[in-house]
Structure 1
């Protein structure tokens, strides 16, 4: 088979998810030939993952019939032929419905193939003096060998039709001893790390990912974001995403000297370290933000509105957002008025209603509640669908209302009259206290998250469900 010159760069999908075969333009004349073996910009534009190779390896094979594999490695590979010709065989050894799927092809220097982590890779040289090259996106180490998954070259269920029969081929003793497919332990998917897993959102994420073995949950005792040592001792290449549900949220306390230091440490310095880890390892960073990054002078806030925080808490959240936005693969989830398990406004109002107390509640701050169940479901949706990276507003839907109006709804759901809640201005409510300034308007434009295929529940529907669940837990 002669080498074909000047083919256009083209991608071909295969039966194995994520395995893509590429035609490479090879330019030749009487002196020989030249090709762009790896061209990030052009290939990413064709859909190749921006997998960030860090090591280039070459396997030289003196004789035709040399056969190597089948090895599934804990990193991605971009494979091509420098000289000669091979028969390549790839078997999906990852957990999931495509486990065991086989793809084969002959490759010469005018072709290349991308092999994702966990797909078994093997080749057989078809001519003498064949050089097989591959880029990988992690550095080889002796420890990494323990994460390999292997398959026997002669596995009967894969039934690979080797051009040169294996009994006539050159194989290593190790490759002859690998297990058949029925005995292979599939390579697990990369892990998702949830930080702040004991907080309101963290608990909702625990429920959303219940029964998913590849999701790791860490509260502050397992991973203290403010401790630099927490970031060492992990092989970050084994993670696909970090969901940062941890934050300093004491809005008023943040205005004190001690609170200011705590807010900046948790919401900025720690986030900068997370961003560094994510960028260095190609990890998706999901970061939860707040309506407090705005001053509330606009009636509705879009994702691209410039920051204008009123207080220290908002300043630290805005600074954290700016840091995360510099990460290549990120989702910033901007929320408002968060309600979940633990101390929150809705449960406080329900408790007052039950105890016969008639409260005074602010009536000049307007927005929507964000139930943690809906925030968690939105995060899962963005990660599972591979939505475009960027910032997404995420609250519940419905007509924006004041805190006082929401309190009246809570009272009615708990058998009290809405008239038992008295409205008051923010200025009157906080008179004589050292409270931080609050945005008057916290309503978030939700069109972007809806366009991405996720529509949160209506606020009233979510409020009723939350109230019913709370009453059931309390046995009333």
Structure 2
């Protein structure tokens, strides 16, 4: 069988999700042939994941009929034939609905195939002196062997029609001993790590992902974001995503010398370590931002508005956003006026209402509440749908309100009179106090995340449910 020359670079989907067969242009003349076996720019443009190969391996097989077993490895592979021909067999050994799916094809030097992590790869040579090449995106190590998943070449459910019957083929003893599909432990997906898991948003993420063993949670005691050792101790090859729900949020304390240092350490230095880790290991980094990155002079804050923070807290959040923006695969989720499980404005107002206190509340700062269950759900939506990377505003829907309006709503829902709340200006409220400057307008434009398919509940509905639950 001769190689077909000058084919167009073409991708062909297969029955196994993520497994893509490619036709490669091969150019030949009387001297032989030449092909671009791996050309990043062209192949990424064609849809091949930018999987960043780090090692190139070659399997040389002297005789036709040499058969190498169904091995699913903990990395992605780009496979092609250098010389000769093979019959390839691929079986999905990942957890999920496609577990056990099979694809087979004959390949020569004019073809290649991309095999994602966890898909079993096997081949049988159809010609003497066949060389089979692998580009992989992780370095082989003895430790990694413990993460392999195997399937027996003769598995009845896979029912692979080997051109050379297995009893006549050249096999290793190890491959003969591999389990049938019913005894295979599927390869689990890479993990998501949630940092700041004990905060308001972290608790909402815990509840949302409860029972999902692919999501790990780390609070301050489990993962110290300020420690280089904590980063070095983690095997990042086992992760696909980091959700950073950790932050220094003491807006007024950040204006002090000690608070300023703490805010920069948590919101910038730690975020820079996360960004570097994400870049080095090709992870998705989800980072939660704040309306405080703006000065509040715009009527509606869009995602592309230039950053203009007023105080130290806002400056550190803006710096953190700038750092995360250089990570190729990132989501910056910008929120405002966060309400979740823990101490927050709504809880304080409900407590005051219960004690019969009539508070003065700021009435010239305008925005929307962001309930953590909707922030968490929005993050999961972006990840699960593969929305375009970038920045997304995310608060609850509904008419913008002042803090005084929201306080009055809390009083009314608590069975008290709205008139118990007195509205005052920011200047009046903070007169004589040393506090951070605040944006007067925190209304976030939600059009982008709505276009991505996520529409959060209204703040009014969430507030009523929140107070009912106590």
The question of a shared fold, defined as TM-score above 0.5 by the shorter chain, is answered with yes
Please say which of residues 28-37 and 190-199 is displaced more in the overlay: 28-37
Deviation at 1:43, TM superposition (A): 1.1
Gaps spanning 5+ residues in structure 2: where?
none
SS in 1 for 2:464: helix
Partner of 2:99: 99
Deviation at 1:442, TM superposition (A): 0.3
SS in 1 for 2:328: coil
Deviation at 1:16, TM superposition (A): 0.5
Task: Note the 1:44-63 alignment, pairs <5 A.
Answer: 44-63=44-63
CA distance in 2, matches of 1:268, 1:83: 52
Partner of 1:362: 362
Partner of 1:449: 449
Task: Note the 1:2-401 alignment, pairs <5 A.
Answer: 2-401=2-401
CA distance in 1, matches of 2:118, 2:327: 25
SS in 1 for 2:289: strand
Gaps spanning 5+ residues in structure 1: where?
471-476
Task: Note the 1:401-416 alignment, pairs <5 A.
Answer: 401-416=401-416
Deviation at 1:44, TM superposition (A): 1.2
CA distance in 1, matches of 2:215, 2:69: 30
Please say which of residues 228-237 and 95-104 is displaced more in the overlay: 228-237
Moved over 3 A (4+): none
SS in 2 for 1:287: strand
Deviations 1:206-229 (A, max 9, x none): 011011011000000000101111
CA distance in 1, matches of 2:122, 2:405: 65
CA distance in 2, matches of 1:234, 1:169: 43
SS in 2 for 1:265: helix
SS in 2 for 1:361: strand
Deviation at 1:51, TM superposition (A): 0.8
CA distance in 2, matches of 1:97, 1:253: 50
CA distance in 2, matches of 1:264, 1:37: 46
Deviation at 1:176, TM superposition (A): 0.7
SS in 2 for 1:147: coil
SS in 2 for 1:232: helix
CA distance in 1, matches of 2:82, 2:2: 14
CA distance in 2, matches of 1:227, 1:430: 37
> So what's the TM-score if we normalise by structure 1?
0.98
SS in 1 for 2:156: coil
Partner of 1:432: 432
Partner of 1:473: none
CA distance in 2, matches of 1:26, 1:54: 24
CA distance in 1, matches of 2:310, 2:331: 24
CA distance in 2, matches of 1:257, 1:165: 76
Deviation at 1:314, TM superposition (A): 0.5
CA distance in 1, matches of 2:161, 2:259: 67
Deviation at 1:280, TM superposition (A): 0.7
CA distance in 1, matches of 2:419, 2:156: 76
CA distance in 2, matches of 1:54, 1:421: 63
Deviation at 1:169, TM superposition (A): 0.9
Deviations 1:96-123 (A, max 9, x none): 1110000000111111100000000001
CA distance in 1, matches of 2:276, 2:109: 37
Deviation at 1:40, TM superposition (A): 1.2
SS in 2 for 1:358: coil
SS in 1 for 2:349: helix
SS in 2 for 1:465: helix
CA distance in 1, matches of 2:208, 2:20: 32
- The CA RMSD measured in Å over matched residues stands at 0.6
SS in 2 for 1:56: strand
CA distance in 2, matches of 1:310, 1:157: 64
CA distance in 2, matches of 1:313, 1:73: 45
Partner of 1:474: none
Residue correspondences, number:
470
Deviations 1:137-169 (A, max 9, x none): 100000000000000011111110000111111
